[in-house]
Amino acid sequence: MPKQIDRLGDPVRRISRRAMLAGTAGAFGTATLPFGKAHARQQDRPNVPDDPTKVQGRDASELGTRSQFEQVRRSAGRSSSQTPHQDLDGIITPSDLHYERHHGGIPEIDPDRHSLLIHGMVERDTMFTVADLKRFPSRSVIHFMECSGNGGRSYRNRRTEDVTPQQVDGLTSTSEWTGVPLATLMREVGVDPEASWILAEGGDAAVMTRSIPMGKVMDDALIAYGQNGEALRPEQGYPIRLFLPGWEGSASVKWIRRIEVGDEAFMTREETSKYTDPLPDGTARQFSFTMDTKSIITFPAYPDTLPERGWWEMSGLAWSGRGRISRVEISTDGGQSWSDAELQGPVLPICHTRFRAAFNWQGDETVVLSRATDETGYVQPTLDELIAVRGIGTRYHHNHIRGCRIRPNGSTVFTVDA
Amino acid sequence: MRVATPRSAGVWTAVAVVIVASAAIAAQQDQPERFGFGRPATEAEIAAWDIDVTPDGTGLPPGGGTAVEGRSIYVEKCEICHGAHGEGRPFSQLVGREPRQGFPFGNQPSLVRTIGNYWPFAPTLYDYTFRTMPFDEPGTLEPDEVYALTAFLLYLNDIVAEDDVIDANTLPRVQMPARDKFVGDNRRGGRELR
């Protein structure tokens, strides 16, 4: 049985995609799913009527659920979980599949008992209830958020092959975020013009703290309470979180309860011991907030198997913490030549952007890669280029080119060989 | 809020007109400098949450402690997770000065970053320990305990002596080995890779 059929949860989608692309809808069922095996497999599948046009379907419900055939899941450890990019399309990550990372678990918070304190270099130290915050003029924005550790496992070990997009790059997701601009709150409390940093502090067991420069605070920082049209998920900071577009996820402090305004960085453990980048020249870069331009291929990717030669559509995501993606190129020869992929709209600033490119696989060993460029002209580097400027010891900001190697038998493995 | 349900198309039209009209009014009004939402925070409320400690020692409470005092607290409350000598089993390594020369972390992935070789500011150790540790009972340490534990961890890292008193006055003056290693972010986008 071809490997991709075994992949948890998406036999239906993959089959239909392949059938459409390769134009072998009829042949497929018999050619690659021998009847006996298909039948055996049918036994473990959820029971559905033979002909759904001959029985009434089920009633409406208060809360929708996925089809029982769709078993999309985050992969989850104790303090992080990863988005299954290989199973998703478009650019929005379903809220329950948005990646998570926390430093003291997910707190349970009663929104009626949660407040945001803003104090320090302000005219009025003020306590805002969640209801107060929702009364201010709101704003909704669609942005990606990425953990700065995302992609790390493909950085130090360039021989890593049997890893899925979720396992390598699942710590990035895109949502629509709704909230009140932090600049509005700063005006409300009368921020001192001399103030240059804030400390954002969470109400979780880590009492997570990060210093944020005032420029970002007044530019596009949001105190968010909504995600994809509903309240934030608990793992995303319910009832309120800081959201800093384009910046490493850890700075967007969740369950935020306190903002102290000051005129210096506070130098917390999360911006000294952690989330700093030692460089080859013997210094360490601090406050490296912005997420650099990056792209990943979500199909084909390990453990997909291409069952036959011919035309296939490659698909993936590209994003930049500095603005819009202006271009994504793909290579099917390991980076020797590149051609433009199609950017699928909407192409939003600081947002996952879906790209697609058809390629004709001739059955040879083929390395397919993607390379993104953003509107500032930044071009996604190769692993070697990145290591040359950052050093092999760095732990964050791993935005190098990656893709997959398609073997002559159609099986695929992850690769960073560009 | 209770809203009467409009029953006829005529009412719907009326509602729509009202919405359009009020939207137009709102759009014409400038957003005020202040809305007056929220309430003044009390000093007690601020004091209860304002626990951060900055490199100059701002935020450090009264109290103090030495490594000698810290050792017994460490054995009782920290050792199980960080090891008898802070060697970091099963969790984070808390002690390590190697390499004594240079700051080669960028090139050597196997080097463990610790308080002794990587933390730039000693007061951060107070701040972090007070707010988060012990991991299974966060936020339960008294200031004197945190001072003593801070002294003990700095002592294990060969940064202070065993009987040095660590308090609000001395902690900000402790020179950390990695103090001058940190630089700002010079990435700017565009063609240059940094």
pLDDT digit string, tens, across residues B154-190: 999 999 999 999 999 999 999 999 999 999 999 999 9
Helices (H), chain B: 9-28, 43-49, 67-77, 79-82, 115-118, 123-132, 143-156
Q: Determine, for residues A132 and B121 on separate chains, whether the beta-carbon distance falls below 8 Å.
A: no
Between B124, B181, B185, which is nearest A268 by CB? B124
Is residue B98 domain-resident? yes
For residue A208, the distance in angstroms to the closest alpha carbon of chain B comes to: 9
CATH class assigned to A100-155+170-275: alpha beta
At residue A45, the pLDDT reads: 85
Q: What's the predicted TM-score (pTM) here?
A: 0.89
B51 touches chain A (CB under 8 A): yes
Q: Identify the residue among A154, A158, A269 best suited for mutation to test binding to B, counting B beta carbons within 10 A and taking the highest.
A: A269
Q: What percent of chain A has pLDDT over 70?
A: 90
B32 touches chain A (CB under 8 A): no
Is residue B16 domain-resident? no
Between B38, B45, B55, which is nearest A267 by CB? B55
Tens digit of each residue's pLDDT (9 = 90 or more) over A8-53: 333 333 333 433 333 333 333 333 333 333 344 556 788 899 999 9
Lowest pLDDT segment from A156-160, A239-243, A250-254, B63-67 = A156-160
Q: Taking CB atoms and an 8 Å cutoff, what residues of chain B touch A286?
A: 182-185
How would CATH label the architecture of A1-40+291-418? Sandwich (2.60)
For residue B10, the distance in angstroms to the closest alpha carbon of chain A comes to: 31
B101 touches chain A (CB under 8 A): no
Is residue B41 domain-resident? no
Identify the closest residue of chain B to A123 by CA–CA distance: B40
B189 touches chain A (CB under 8 A): yes
Tens digit of each residue's pLDDT (9 = 90 or more) over A305-357: 999 999 999 999 999 999 999 999 999 999 999 999 999 999 999 999 999 99
Between A266, A276, A283, which is nearest B54 by CB? A266
At residue A4, the pLDDT reads: 36
Identify the closest residue of chain A to B26 by CA–CA distance: A137
Q: How many CB pairs under 8 A join A and B?
A: 175
Q: What is the mean pLDDT of residues A269-297?
A: 98
For residue B68, the distance in angstroms to the closest alpha carbon of chain A comes to: 25
At residue A13, the pLDDT reads: 38
Q: What is the mean pLDDT of residues A178-193?
A: 98
Identify the closest residue of chain B to A379 by CA–CA distance: B191
Range of the domain at B73: 61-181
Between B37, B106, B109, which is nearest A135 by CB? B37
Q: What is the mean pLDDT of residues B105-118?
A: 96
For residue B116, the distance in angstroms to the closest alpha carbon of chain A comes to: 11
Query: Distance (Å, rounded) from C-alpha A349 to C-alpha A323?
Result: 4
Tens digit of each residue's pLDDT (9 = 90 or more) over A69-100: 999 999 999 999 999 999 999 999 999 999 99
At residue A44, the pLDDT reads: 77
Q: Identify the residue among B34, B174, B181, B187 best suited for mutation to test binding to A, counting A beta carbons within 10 A and taking the highest.
A: B187
For residue A412, the distance in angstroms to the closest alpha carbon of chain B comes to: 29
Q: What is the mean pLDDT of residues B96-104?
A: 94
Domain ranges of chain A: 1-40+291-418, 100-155+170-275
At residue A304, the pLDDT reads: 97
At residue A41, the pLDDT reads: 53
Number of independent structural domains in chain B: 1
Put residue A99 in one of left, alpha, beta given phi > 0 → left and psi -120 to 50 → alpha: beta
B179 touches chain A (CB under 8 A): no
At residue B133, the pLDDT reads: 98
CATH code: domain of residue B81: 1.10.760.10
B152 touches chain A (CB under 8 A): no
Query: Distance (Å, rounded) from C-alpha A268 to C-alpha B176?
Result: 15
Between A104, A187, A374, which is nearest B138 by CB? A104
Do B170 and B63 contact (CB within 8 A), yes or no?
no
Q: Taking CB atoms and an 8 Å cutoff, what residues of chain B touch A385?
A: 193
Q: What is the mean pLDDT of residues A98-121?
A: 98
B93 touches chain A (CB under 8 A): no
Q: Determine, for residues A268 and B127 on separate chains, whether the beta-carbon distance falls below 8 Å.
A: yes
Is residue B96 domain-resident? yes
Q: What is the mean pLDDT of residues A182-197?
A: 98
Query: Distance (Å, rounded) from C-alpha A271 to C-alpha A251?
Result: 9
B172 touches chain A (CB under 8 A): no
Q: Determine, for residues B187 and A289 on separate chains, whether the beta-carbon distance falls below 8 Å.
A: no
Q: Identify the residue among B171, B182, B191 best suited for mutation to test binding to A, counting A beta carbons within 10 A and taking the highest.
A: B182
At residue B187, the pLDDT reads: 98
Is residue B149 domain-resident? yes
At residue A32, the pLDDT reads: 37
For residue B28, the distance in angstroms to the closest alpha carbon of chain A comes to: 15
Could you tell me the two tokens for B107? 């090139």
Is residue B94 domain-resident? yes
Positive or negative: CA dihedral A86, A88, A222, A321: positive
Q: What is the mean pLDDT of residues B21-34?
A: 65
Identify the closest residue of chain B to A285 by CA–CA distance: B183
Q: What is the ipTM of this complex?
A: 0.88
What would the 3-class secondary structure string for chain A be?
Answer: CCHHHHCCCCHHHHHHHHHHHHCCHHHHHHHHCCHHHHHHHHHHCCCCCCCCCCCCCCCCCCCCCCCCCCCCCCEECCCEEECCHHHCCCCCCCHHHCCEECCCCCCCCCHHHCEEEEEECECCCEEEEHHHHHHCCCEEEEEEEECCCCCHHHCCCCCCCCCCHHHHHCCEEEEEEEEEEHHHHHHHHCECCCCCEEEEEECCCCCCEEEEEHHHHHHCCEEEEEECCEECCHHHCCCCEEECCCEEHHHCCCCEEEEEEECCCCCCHHHCCCCCEECCCCCEECCCCECCCEEEEEECCCCCECCCCEEEEEEEEEECCCCCEEEEEEECCCCCCCEECEEECCCCCCCCEEEEEEEEECCCCEEEEEEEEECCCCECCCHHHHHHHHCCCCCCCCCCCCEEEECCCCEEEEECCC
